[in-house]
């Protein structure tokens, strides 16, 4: 059963140059306890999608969808107050620039204690306060912070970037959300710490059935525990399906390009020039018609000015007129 079901979500915003589509009929399904990775280049609309799920979107922007459901709730047709309650209770997000989402005027400890839900504490005031303190400390331990006292006593600007990321992870998991959206959560961490955070998140997802939507720009950053993944380009869904399958037998030219580009594969001479995908992501005002990858796609032909429909081979779905694999390719 999918607990998050998004079908043909479109977000349009008003600019000086008219209405632009940041997200173009994007679909995504997430099952309970599933870890799903969303991969796409910078500016492809990943953060906006995350914010749209949480309802943190400028009210002036136009959002339409065939479906935007969270469990039994139709999020788009819920009244704003009810939606806030449901997202506040069930969802959490680790933001991309954690230090700008922490309140600069308040100590870390106070902000962390604040994020622990009141309903879970009982007893008289003093006991509740002590409980809150121990729970805050335990949260910090879980994200691998040992000098809890020092960290809780600091203001956000006094933290290193990696610490700020850890704090925002601690705050996000404080109320045991059912859905966690992690927008590039570990960019400021070195491999060991990163692995530790991923272990924590995978454990949470396995033990509490927490679904996680990981967001990243780099295919090599996809963790093996993420059994599903989707690729987004310029607000359009390119390919989605089981991670292993997409990595070994991509059907979409974009997936292939992303695989070939990851630095890991280039056993190149030091200081040699690296290969890049030709061209740059266009601005929203100048999106190509049809398949938005068109101008940068080596396989593009005439038919590509029509937006390709989503096709399915086994559990792999992709939107391309000239896929690298065909339907009759049986393994």
- List contacts with other proteins (CB under 8 A): 40-44, 47, 96-97, 99-100, 150, 153-154, 158, 160-163, 166, 184, 187-194, 198, 217-224, 243, 247-249, 258-259, 261-265, 268, 270-271, 273-277, 280, 282-283, 285-286, 331
CB under 5 to 8 A by kind: which of other proteins, ligand SF4, ligand ATP, none does 56 bind? none
Backbone angles phi and psi of 35, in degrees to 5: -105, 120
- CB distance 136 to 129 below 8 Å: no
Task: Report in angstroms how near the CB of residue 300 gets to ligand SF4 at its nearest.
Answer: 4
Which residue minimizes CB distance to ligand ATP? 162
CB under 5 to 8 A by kind: which of Mg ion, ligand ATP, ligand SF4, none does 321 bind? ligand SF4
- CB distance 171 to 115 below 8 Å: yes
- CB distance 218 to 39 below 8 Å: yes
User: Closer CB to other proteins, residue 2 or residue 187?
Assistant: 187
x-marked contacts with ligand ATP along 248-277 as a string, rule CB under 6 A: ------------------------------
Closest by CA to 280, choosing from 263, 292, 262, 268, is: 292
**What residues contact residue 174 under an 8 Å CB cut-off, 6+ apart?**
92, 112, 115, 116, 117, 135, 139
Tokens 């492809």 label which residue?
44
CA–CA separation, 122 and 110 (whole Å)? 19
CB under 5 to 8 A by kind: which of ligand SF4, Mg ion, ligand ATP, none does 308 bind? ligand SF4
User: Closer CB to Mg ion, residue 161 or residue 326?
Assistant: 161
Neighbours of 245 (CB within 10 A): 18
Chain centre distance of CA 213? 5
Which residues ranging from 58 to 87 are in contact with ligand ATP (CB under 6 A)? Answer: none
Q: 234 in the Ramachandran plot: left (φ > 0), alpha (ψ -120 to 50) or beta?
A: left
Task: Report in angstroms how near the CB of residue 94 gets to ligand SF4 at its nearest.
Answer: 31
Is residue 44 a contact point for ligand ATP (CB under 6 A)? yes
CA–CA separation, 121 and 209 (whole Å)? 23
Is residue 106 a contact point for ligand ATP (CB under 6 A)? no
The residues that bridge with 212 in the sheet, in sequence order, are 35, 180
DSSP symbols for 177-207: -SEEEEESTTTTS-HHHHHHHHHHHHHHHHH
Closest by CA to 243, choosing from 263, 268, 224, 270, is: 224
* 101: its two tokens: 């989402």
Segment interacting with Mg ion (CB under 5 A) among 92-100, 163-171, 252-260, 312-320: 92-100
Is residue 253 a contact point for ligand SF4 (CB under 6 A)? yes
The residues that bridge with 7 in the sheet, in sequence order, are 67
Is residue 299 a contact point for ligand SF4 (CB under 6 A)? yes
User: Closer CB to ligand ATP, residue 15 or residue 306?
Assistant: 15
From the list 8, 217, 249, 307, which residue makes contact with ligand ATP (rule: CB under 6 A)?
A: 217
Residues near ligand ATP (CB under 6 A) = 13, 15, 22, 40, 42-48, 96, 157-163, 188, 217, 284
Residues near ligand SF4 (CB under 6 A) = 253, 291, 293-294, 297, 299-300, 304, 308, 320-322
């Amino acid at each position: 059963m999918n607990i998050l079901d998004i079908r043909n979500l479109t977000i349009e915003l008003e600019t000086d140059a008219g209405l632009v589509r940041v997200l173009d009929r994007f679909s995504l399904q997430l099952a309970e306890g599933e870890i799903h990775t969303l991969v796409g280049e910078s500016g492809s609309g990943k953060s906006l999608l995350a914010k749209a799920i949480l309802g943190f979107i400028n009210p002036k922007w136009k959002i339409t969808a065939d479906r935007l459901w969270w469990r039994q709730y139709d999020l788009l047709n819920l009244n704003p107050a009810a939606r806030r309650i449901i997202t506040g209770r069930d969802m959490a997000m680790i933001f991309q620039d954690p230090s700008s989402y922490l309140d600069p005027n308040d100590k870390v400890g106070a902000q962390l204690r604040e994020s622990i839900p009141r309903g879970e504490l009982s007893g008289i005031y003093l006991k509740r306060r002590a409980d809150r303190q121990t729970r805050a400390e335990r949260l910090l331990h879980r994200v691998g912070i040992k000098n809890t006292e020092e960290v809780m006593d600091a203001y956000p600007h006094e933290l290193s970037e990696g610490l700020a990321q850890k704090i925002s992870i601690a705050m996000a998991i404080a109320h045991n959300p059912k859905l966690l959206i992690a927008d590039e959560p570990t960019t400021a961490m070195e491999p060991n710490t990163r692995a530790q955070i991923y272990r924590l998140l995978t454990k949470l997802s396995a033990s509490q059935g927490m679904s996680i939507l990981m967001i990243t720009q780099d295919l090599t950053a996809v963790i093996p525990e993420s059994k599903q993944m989707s690729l987004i380009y310029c607000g359009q869904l390119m390919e989605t399906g089981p991670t292993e399958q997409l990595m070994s037998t991509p059907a979409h030219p974009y997936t292939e390009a992303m695989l070939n580009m990851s630095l890991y594969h280039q056993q190149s001479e030091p200081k040699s020039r690296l290969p890049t995908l030709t061209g740059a992501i266009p601005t929203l005002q100048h999106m190509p018609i049809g398949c938005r990858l068109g101008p940068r796609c080596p396989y593009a032909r005439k038919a590509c000015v029509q937006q390709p429909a989503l096709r399915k081979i086994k559990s792999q779905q992709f939107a391309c007129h000239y896929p690298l694999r065909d339907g009759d390719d049986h393994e």
